Amino acid sequence: MAMFIRVDLDASLQQDVDLKKRLVEVCPVDIFALDGDTLTTVDANLDECTLCDLCTDAAGARVKVVKLYE
Amino acid sequence: MRFYEYEAKQLLAKHGVALPKRTFARTADEAASAARELGGATVLKSQVLTGGRMKAGGVLFAATPEEARTAAERILALPISGQQPAGVLVEERRDIAQEYYVAVTWDARAKRPVIVFSDMGGIDIEEVAQTHPAHVSRTHFSNLRPLSDYVAKLAVARTGVTGNDLAPLTRIVLNLARIFVQYDLTLAEINPLAKLSDGSFIALDSHMDMEEEARGGQRALLAELAIADTDTRQARPPTPFEVDGARVDAADTRGVAGRVVEFDGNMGLVIGAGGGSLTLFDAVRSAGGKPANYCEIGGNPSVAKAAALTKLVLSKPGVQKIAVMMNVVSNTRADIMARGVIKGCIDAGRDPAQTIAIFRIPGSWEEEGAKILRRYGVEYVDRSVSMHEAAQRAVAKMG
Amino acid sequence: MAILIDEQSRFIIQGITGREAVTMTRELLNYGAQVVGGVTPGRKGRDVHGVPVEDTVRAFTERMHVDGAIVAVPPAFTADAVHEAIEAGIKLIVIVTERVPRRQVAQFVEYAEQEGARIIGPNCLGIISPGKSKMGGIGGAAESTRRAFTPGHIGVMSRSGGMTVEIANALTEAGLGQSTAVSIGGDAIIGSSYAELMPLFEADPATHGIAIYSEPGGPMEAQLADYMRESNSRLPVVAFMAGRFMDAMPGVRFGHAGTIVEGRADTTAEKIARMEAAGIAVAERIEQIPALLKQRLGA
Ligand code: SF4
């Protein structure tokens, strides 16, 4: 269970195949993964999030990185 | 990485340096039969990775195989500087006319290898260097130019050796320097290098150290000497706690959590890195604290690695609290460390607020780190609190 | 003024496309350093944060003047990269890579001596002349670098990268800025020792005093003490000594050569005695360094 970070994915993301691939690519700590065609977040890696904003740069408001300690 | 005498001698033999006839024995029985085969008087030497064997009683003489057995029994039962011997080296005893000394090592000032040679060898060589400086020569050689005979000749001749002894001694010195270069050694020493009554020279004892970083490149040599990858050759074998520390580091390539060493205290340390760890360990001790461990964490470790190290330190019996401290950091992130140590506490079933005596990691992402710590009720101090003050505060909380 | 680098210094980064090097490049540019190029074989034509990448060092040195190179390639390729930089005529080489085999270090250091090039490192955080430029990851992001390092008159040298920053930060907190801070590297053999950098600080009118970090092992502090006794230096030196606890846990001695070559000089107690005898003040805590310097500067 992640203690510090939650990543929310907007449902509309699942329609955008290129963006899903990009998210898997950009995250330096492998927080995004494709389960078949479905984009998911990897629970074990969430707390490793470096807050680098690469995912939000790619997906805009459709990805939200939430700091659980705030 | 350190070699046993019997291994060093294998290298010398391979490169044409004359040695006494010898057998490595792991048991008293083996030692007795080795002495029988060698015939005549023998000398038995404890195989440990430390100097000062003679004074510790680790070198004994035997006239018969039975005496050799008794001597081996005594040696095998005698730890030296806390080390259990790996075995005994049984050697034929030779009559010595004169003792010489030769070593090749790095001179960090000159940044070159240096050959140290003396015609007054033996266990008091350091004293000889003080009292008879003219009998101890130091000869540097280039890292770039090919190693030429004259360098070795110069090392020997500088102590006044000439005549028939110059050529054979030059050859031995040259061979030793070649061994030093070829196997990435940091020390190659023959002491004593003995002149026998017939005028020939043999290496009676030898010390060799190889650079730790060279282990990868010297696989062939290690295989030849049957030294396993897992054989660390540390002065004392690592404790299970220290082995687990190494495992934490190896499990994840991000950052380092190295040099975990165990002590008796009640205060766990999650500190880093090299110089910062040395400083903080001193600071804790001078504040009257009792560290449970030493460690060096840094290089921007992952949350998982910081958590695993924290959990390991907390698993040590008697550890009441941990102090998390670093110097002002450049690439390690305060927030990642904060996440890691809090997670480690919780994984270990401890309340971070009660367990983390202090958190002092100023530098990159410190504001974010402070937020996380505040949320969990952990005391955070910034760079306005020095490393020594932070250590003092942590010790004061130990009660 | 400063030593080694200033706002005019133009340098390249060898291994610029590596993960850590990409971050470093951005930090250096944000700090105002003149990173004019990067080298990664096979990546010619790309750029890293706008810095052009070439396959060879000569691709840059043949068309422009290059003052220095940062070597940030993996250990197995470090020697090659350093030889390439020296051969291309670069005179200042900062090696950040750790775990470079000692013989290889000794080889390129000797080659650099022959060619009149200076090496800093390996295994170091680099050099900074605060407010002017920096070479290497020292201080991290530009903003935290500005917080720890301020322009001024103290030269800093440290075998520990992290402690270079800690000491500079303590000086900054006490109102003492730095002329240049050099993380000289933590290995047994390095390009430039304290004593070898002293003449540069000596010749820099902006430097009024020196702070160093020292620790057990090696002859570097003894060499500095010798320098101070023989040179009649104008610069007051304050040293902080870490790792005093190690004196109580002696390493298992092996062989005699080390003692004969270096003398019995590598415990902290021995080093402190030697430095004090040479007029170097030794601090027990980092926070004592500024006051000790101020006393000696008569400020
Ligand atoms: S902020 Fe960076 S590390 Fe975090 S999820 Fe997004 S891409 Fe991954």
Does C202 score more than 60 pLDDT?
Answer: yes
The two structure tokens encoding residue C97? 């890579």
User: Which helix (H) or strand (E) is B339 found in, with range?
Assistant: helix B334-347
CA distance C135 to C91: 14
Candidates A22, A43, A53, A63: which one to mutate for ligand 1, based on the most atoms within 8 Å of Cβ? Answer: A53
Instruction: Fill in the amino acid letter for B86.
Output: A
pLDDT mean over B276-302: 93
- With 80 as the cut, is the pLDDT of residue C264 above it? no
Q: Give the pLDDT score at C179.
A: 98
Most A CBs within 10 A among B331, B339, B364, B374, hence the mutation to make, goes to: B339
Is the pLDDT at C252 greater than 60, yes or no?
no
User: What is the fold, at CATH topology level, of the domain defined by B240-396?
Assistant: Rossmann fold (3.40.50)
Q: How confident is the model at residue C52 (pLDDT cuts 50, 70, 90)?
A: very high
Instruction: Indicate whether A3 pLDDT > 70.
Output: yes
The set of residues, in sequence order, having a beta carbon less than 8 Å from that of C31 and lying 6+ positions away, is: C133, C134, C139, C142, C145, C146
Q: Do residues B20 and B90 lie in contact, with contact meaning Cβ atoms separated by under 8 Å?
A: no
The CA-atom distances, in angstroms, between C263 and each of B127, C64, C258 are 11, 47, 7
Whether the CB of A66 sits within 6 Å of ligand 1: no
Q: Which CATH architecture has domain B96-224?
A: 2-Layer Sandwich (3.30)
pLDDT of residue A35: 92
Chains contacting chain B through 3 or more C-beta pairs under 8 A: A, C
Domain chopping of chain B, boundaries:
21-92, 96-224, 240-396
- Cα–Cα dist B119/B143, whole Å: 26
Per the CB < 8 A criterion, the answer to whether C105 and C83 are in contact is no
pLDDT tens-digit series, residues C159-175: 999 999 999 999 999 99
Confirm whether C256 is a catalytic residue. yes
Supply angle C-alpha B295, B301, B302, rounded to 5.
Answer: 130
Ligand 1 pocket check for A38: Cβ under 6 Å: no
Q: What does the pLDDT look like over B82-105, one tens digit per residue?
A: 889 999 999 999 999 999 999 999
Query: Facing residues of B214 across strands?
Result: none
Q: What is the mean pLDDT of residues B149-159?
A: 98
Q: What number is the average pLDDT over the span C108-120?
A: 98
What domains are there in chain C, each with its CATH number? 10-297 (3.40.50.261)
**Span B109-140, pLDDT tens digits:** 999 999 999 999 988 888 999 999 999 999 99
- Distance (Å, whole) CA B71 – CA B207: 23
Return the structure tokens found at B184.
């990435």
Phi and psi at C146, nearest 5°, equal -65, -25
Residues 6+ apart with CB under 8 A from B121: B99, B100, B101, B102, B191, B192, B193
Q: For strand B136-140 and strand C237-241, is the pairing parallel, antiparallel, or unpaired?
A: unpaired
The CATH number covering residue A60 comes to 3.30.70.20
Cα–Cα dist C10/B211, whole Å: 36
Is C76 buried (19+), middle (13-18) or exposed (0-12) by CB count in 10 A?
A: middle
The letter for the amino acid at C149 is F
As a whole number, mean pLDDT of residues B359-379 equals 94
Alpha-carbon distance of B364 to B86, in angstroms, equals 48
B90 φ, ψ (degrees, to nearest 5): -100, 120
- Residue C99 CB contacts under 8 Å (≥ 6 apart), including other chains: B213, C75, C123
Rank B228-242, C47-61, C260-274 by mean pLDDT and report only the highest.
Answer: C47-61
**C270 contacts: CB under 8 Å, gap ≥ 6:** C264
CB B322 within 8 A of CB A67: no
The separation between the first and the last C-alpha atoms of chain B, rounded to the nearest angstrom, is: 42
For residue B259, the one-letter residue type is R
Q: How far is CA B64 from CA B40, B42, B72, B73, C266, in A?
A: 7, 8, 12, 14, 44
> Residue B20 has which token pair?
């006494």
**How many H-runs (helices) and E-runs (strands) does chain A carry?**
2, 4
Chains that touch C (3 or more CB pairs under 8 A): B
Number of folded domains that form chain A: 1
Domain that holds residue A52: 5-67
For chain C, the average pLDDT equals 94
E-assigned strands of chain C? 10-14, 34-39, 47-48, 51-54, 68-71, 92-95, 118-120, 126-129, 133-135, 151-158, 178-183, 209-214, 237-241, 281-283
- Put simply, the answer to whether B327 touches C106 (Cβ < 8 Å) is no
Chain B contact for A51 (CB, 8 A cutoff): yes
Q: What is the pLDDT of residue B274?
A: 81
pTM of the model: 0.92
CA B47: distance to chain centroid?
16
Residue C20 — very low, low, confident or very high, per pLDDT cuts 50/70/90? confident
Query: Per CATH, which fold does B21-92 belong to?
Result: Dna Ligase; domain 1 (3.30.1490)
For the residues C124-136, what does the mean pLDDT come to? 97
User: Which of B304, B342, B375 is the closest to A48 by Cβ?
Assistant: B304
How many other β-carbons are positioned within 10 Å of the β-carbon of residue A40? 14
**What is the C-alpha separation between C9 and A58, in angstroms, rounded?**
36
Helix (H) or strand (E) holding C111: helix C102-115
CB atoms within 10 A of CB B58: 23
**Confidence class of residue B268 from pLDDT cuts 50, 70 and 90?**
very high
Inter-chain residue contact C101 with B327, CB threshold 8 Å: no
